[in-house]
Amino acid sequence: MSMLNSDNLTFEYIRRDEEGNVESITKALDGVSLEIKKGDFVAILGHNGSGKSTFAKHINAILMPTEGTLYVDGMDTREEEHLWDIRQRAGMVFQNPDNQIIATVVEEDVGFGPENLGVPTEEIWKRVEESLKAVGMYEYRTHSPNKLSGGQKQRVAIAGIMAMKPQCIVLDEPTAMLDPNGRREVIRTVRELNRREKVTVLLITHYMEEVIHADKVIVMDDGKIVMQGTPREIFSQVEKLKSYRMDVPQVTELSYELKRAGMPLPDGILSVEEFVEACGRLRQSGGFGE
């Protein structure tokens, strides 16, 4: 079953002058076609202005396609009557943790989504407890969000989405404003939700380290999908990635350079452990050529 299915999705930002004449048209999305299966962890990478956030906003029906279609769990996002269904099924976490927390107490914020859906009071409490436990923020339920760290706030925001029982979570650069610790915290939480609760995750980011555990990586540039595949497939094409102004994880870059300098290392090394292992094998086989 596919969770998301987009066909030739195009979105244009139209800028008009004072008389309403079209001044310029910017294609933020240009013929994006992709399919995301239920339960997958998919990462979208892209430089600023590559259209990745615009795509995310389509999934939640905040933006409507200019051309093409997008189906969320089989529902067309352009059909008004599905609007709330779509938003319940595909929850969205935004970049700035401060600007998406509504209540002055953590548990009340997590309850905001279910309240809007008209869930009965007892069920709300159950859901709030479950989702706060799922993100490891249960001990903070009576705290004020202002006193939490960025990573904790972002986990509260994720809990707020989980309490709506979505099938898919879209995270639009959730770690862009966090410190390295907060980033790790959030990514670990998201991976666990994907594994344990089988939620489909669509992670939009420009940090390479965050995508190495994804099932699938999509690279966007200038509103188009330019690369698609497993993290290993993507990161073995260092040259191509660089042409889209993207960096690769440090260890991947190191092994790429070493290979270019003549060391017979495999392509697409993603972690330090892998690198150490590959070097060890090389040494045993005398590949260092002493």
Q: DSSP characters for 77-139?
A: TT-GGGHHHHHHHEEEE-S-GGGG--SSSHHHHHHHHHHHHT--HHHHHHHHHHHHHHTT-GG
Shortest reach from residue 103's CB to other proteins, in Å = 7
Shortest reach from residue 156's CB to other proteins, in Å = 12
Calculate Rg over the CA atoms of the chain. 21
The C-alpha atoms of residue 183 and residue 175 are separated, in whole angstroms, by 5
| Residues within window 225-264 making contact with other proteins, judged by CB under 8 A | none
Say how many residues touch other proteins, by CB under 8 A: 38
Could you give the string, one character per residue 48-67, with x where binding to other proteins holds by CB under 8 A and - elsewhere?
A: ------------x-x-----
| Residues within window 106-165 making contact with other proteins, judged by CB under 8 A | 107-108, 111-121, 124-125, 128, 145-146, 160-161, 164
Shortest reach from residue 223's CB to other proteins, in Å = 21
Shortest reach from residue 182's CB to other proteins, in Å = 18
Residues 6+ apart with CB under 8 A from 25: 12, 13, 14, 15
Burial class (CB in 10 A: 0-12, 13-18, 19+), 56: buried
Rounded to 10 deg, the angle between the 180-196 and 121-134 helix axes is: 120
User: Among residues 175 and 252, whose Cβ is nearest to other proteins?
Assistant: 175
Shortest reach from residue 164's CB to other proteins, in Å = 7
Residues 6+ apart with CB under 8 A from 275: 251, 254, 255, 269
Residue of the chain from 2, 5, 8, 100 that contacts other proteins (CB under 8 A)? 100
Residue of the chain from 14, 22, 25, 102 that contacts other proteins (CB under 8 A)? 102
The footprint of other proteins (CB under 8 A) covers: 60, 62, 84, 87-88, 91-92, 94, 96, 98-105, 107-108, 111-121, 124-125, 128, 145-146, 160-161, 164
